């Protein structure tokens, strides 16, 4: 259940009218629902209650400290891809034993930090990286758990910029090389070859590519274990999408993963990002100008691509909702655009929308994932505020960046 609904003409988050927030918080701003976040976490917990699993939230999706604290309090771990994300997870209360360190380009400083902080597993993506982790572990006299990220050469039906499991992508180690790595694992005396990992992409809405990756990985597990090696962990990554017009088959997904990998002495690692945080937030923005041409109406809002990059970067579609609903319609093509000096700074194009005026407020939906975490100061625009609604109250969980801080550096 979404906790963003209309009560009469008013868009509400939980029990609070969004319009009332706009009188206190300068737009644009991100608004999160605590209940949505809690419900998403509980969905994972419920589906995995009988599975030996570890749920590691992908900090790349959202790195707000207060959000991560809530996730940590719910018992989730963290999937990180940088020393900054690792430190943020620790500060939020996630222990190193619940952190998986992924990413194709870890530095020596990052690897050393992870090992010193009891990282549960470092997912290695190249033979060179494995050698480097082994060397650093030896210098620290610590035996480190690693997972071998494989490249299963699976191409899901998603945007080309967010596919990560194809042989054309930079991620993971080819299957045939992995088999040989395990045979030679005794050469890496400072490492425990804990298991395997894969991640095939993002915003995936169907089961078929996940099943293909599972089949390929399962065959590799059989080959490796037939040579006397135990696969103690299997990291199935994340990648599940959210879509206003289509529901993902969650129950079937978990059944699929369990059917291939569940085993008493094996831990299955999940790295959800979007499905934990995506639908928890809206981006609230004010209409600055209405610009009507012969062909369409441009609605210029005060949020830009620097605040929310996905539509410009990936052509992602996010529904736009009026803060105050009306029955009146404007039957002309309408395009919501931002103030940035780029043609790609646009959010959505519609054939029709309700009548809208300068000074009105709108909400861009499902912006909790890859919103604030991908934002920038392009055009010397401050990072925007983030607020969290719980029942009928809200708190500021990140203040709007002061312009003075930007122009003084």
Domain ranges of the chain: 4-32+278-407, 34-276
Q: To the nearest whole percent, how much of the chain has pLDDT over 90?
A: 80
pLDDT at 201 > cutoff 90: no
In the chain, % of residues over pLDDT 70? 95
The pLDDT score that the predictor gives to residue 163 is 56
pLDDT above 90 (res 170):
no
> Considering the entire predicted model, what is its pTM?
0.94
Q: How far is CA 135 from the centre of its chain?
A: 31
Three-state SS at 96: helix
Q: What is the mean pLDDT of residues 118-129?
A: 96
What residues act catalytically? 341
The predicted pLDDT at position 409 comes to 79
Signed CA dihedral, 123, 127, 129, 131: sign only: positive
How would residue 159 be classed by pLDDT, with cut points 50, 70 and 90? low
Query: What does the alpha-carbon distance between residue 260 and residue 207 come to, in Å, rounded to a whole number?
Result: 14
Higher pLDDT, residue 348 or 250:
348
Indicate the CATH number for domain 4-32+278-407.
Answer: 2.40.37.10
Does residue 231 have a pLDDT over 90? yes
Residue 372 gets which letter from DSSP? G
342: preceding bond cis by omega (within 30 degrees):
no
User: Residue 242: what pLDDT?
Assistant: 84
Q: For residues 53 and 267, is the Cβ–Cβ distance under 8 A?
A: yes
Conformation bin of residue 239: beta by default, left when phi > 0, alpha when psi is -120 to 50 = left
Q: What is d(CA 230, CA 244) in angstroms, rounded to the nearest whole number?
A: 41
Q: Quick one: which of 125, 253, 134 has its CA closest to 197? A: 125
Question: Hey, which CATH number is domain 34-276, 2.40.50.140, 3.40.50.2300, 3.40.50.300, 3.20.20.10?
Answer: 3.20.20.10
What three-state secondary structure class fits 285?
A: strand
**What integer pLDDT is reported at residue 374 of this predicted model?**
96
Alpha-carbon span 261 to 141, nearest angstrom: 32
Give the number of other CB atoms < 10 A from CB of residue 278: 25
Q: How far is CA 321 from the centre of its chain?
A: 23
* 404 SS3 class: helix
The answer to whether the bond into 234 is cis (omega within 30° of 0) is no
* Structure-block tokens of residue 179: 């088999």
Question: Strand 233-235 to strand 191-197: parallel, antiparallel, or no bridges (unpaired)?
Answer: parallel
350: its two tokens:
């519609």
Helix extents (H) in 228-353: 250-261, 274-277, 310-314
Buried b (16+ CB within 10 A) or exposed e, 218-239: bebbeebeeeeeebbbbbbbbb
Q: Residue 215: left if φ>0, alpha if ψ -120 to 50, beta else—which one?
A: alpha
- Residue 317 has a CB neighbour count (10 Å cut-off) of 16
Cα separation of 254 and 51, whole Å? 10
The single residue listed with the structure tokens 């040579």 is 227
Separation of alpha carbons 93 and 194, rounded Å? 25
pLDDT tens digits, 244-291: 777 888 899 999 999 999 998 999 999 999 999 999 999 999 999 999
Kindly tell me if the per-residue pLDDT of 179 is higher than 90.
no
What is the DSSP secondary structure assignment for residue 214, as one 8-state letter? H
Largest Cα span, the chain: 72
pLDDT at 205: 84
162 pLDDT above the threshold of 70: no
Asked if residue 155 has pLDDT above 90, the reply is no
Band the pLDDT of 153: cuts 50, 70, 90. Answer: low
Phi, psi values for residue 352, rounded to 5°? -155, 155
* Residue 132 Cα to chain centre, angstroms: 28
Tokens 């690693």, located at residue: 146
As a whole number of angstroms, the distance between CA 196 and CA 123 comes to: 8
């Amino acid at each position: 259940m979404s906790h963003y609904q209309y009560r009469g003409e008013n868009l509400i988050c939980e029990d609070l009218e969004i319009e009332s927030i706009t009188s206190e918080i300068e737009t644009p701003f991100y608004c999160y629902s605590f209940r949505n976040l809690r419900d998403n976490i509980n969905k994972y917990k419920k589906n995995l209650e009988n599975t030996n699993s570890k749920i590691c939230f992908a900090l790349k999706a959202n790195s707000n400290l207060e959000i991560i604290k809530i996730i940590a309090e719910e018992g989730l771990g963290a999937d990180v891809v940088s020393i900054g994300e690792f430190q943020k997870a620790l500060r939020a209360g996630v222990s190193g034993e619940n952190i998986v360190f992924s990413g194709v380009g870890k530095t020596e400083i990052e690897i050393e930090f992870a090992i010193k902080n009891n990282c549960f597993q470092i997912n290695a993506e190249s033979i060179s990286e494995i050698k480097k982790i082994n060397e650093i572990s030896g210098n620290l006299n610590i035996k480190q758990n690693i997972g071998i990220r494989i490249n299963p050469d699976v191409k899901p039906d998603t945007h080309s910029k967010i596919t990560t499991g194809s042989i054309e992508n930079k991620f993971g180690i080819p299957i045939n090389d992995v088999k040989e790595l395990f045979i030679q694992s005794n050469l890496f005396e400072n490492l425990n070859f804990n298991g395997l990992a894969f991640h095939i992409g993002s915003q995936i809405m169907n089961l078929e590519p996940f099943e293909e990756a599972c089949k390929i990985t399962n065959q590799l597990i059989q080959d490796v274990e037939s040579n006397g090696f135990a696969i103690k962990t299997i990291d199935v990554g994340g990648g599940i999408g959210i879509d206003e017009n289509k529901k993902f088959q969650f129950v079937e997904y978990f059944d699929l993963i369990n059917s291939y990998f569940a085993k008493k002495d094996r831990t299955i690692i999940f790295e959800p990002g979007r499905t934990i945080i995506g639908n928890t937030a809206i981006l609230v923005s004010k209409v600055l100008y209405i610009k009507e041409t012969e062909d369409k109406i441009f609605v210029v809002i005060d949020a830009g691509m620097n605040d929310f990059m996905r539509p410009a970067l990936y052509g992602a579609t996010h529904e736009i909702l009026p803060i105050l609903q009306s029955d009146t319609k404007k039957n002309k093509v309408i395009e919501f655009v931002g103030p940035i000096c780029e043609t790609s700074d646009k959010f959505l194009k519609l054939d029709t929308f309700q009548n809208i005026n300068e000074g009105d407020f709108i909400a861009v939906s499902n912006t909790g994932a890859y919103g604030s975490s991908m934002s920038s100061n392009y055009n010397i625009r401050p990072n925007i505020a983030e607020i969290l609604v719980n029942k009928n109250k809200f708190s500021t969980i990140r203040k709007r960046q002061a312009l003075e801080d930007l122009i003084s550096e």
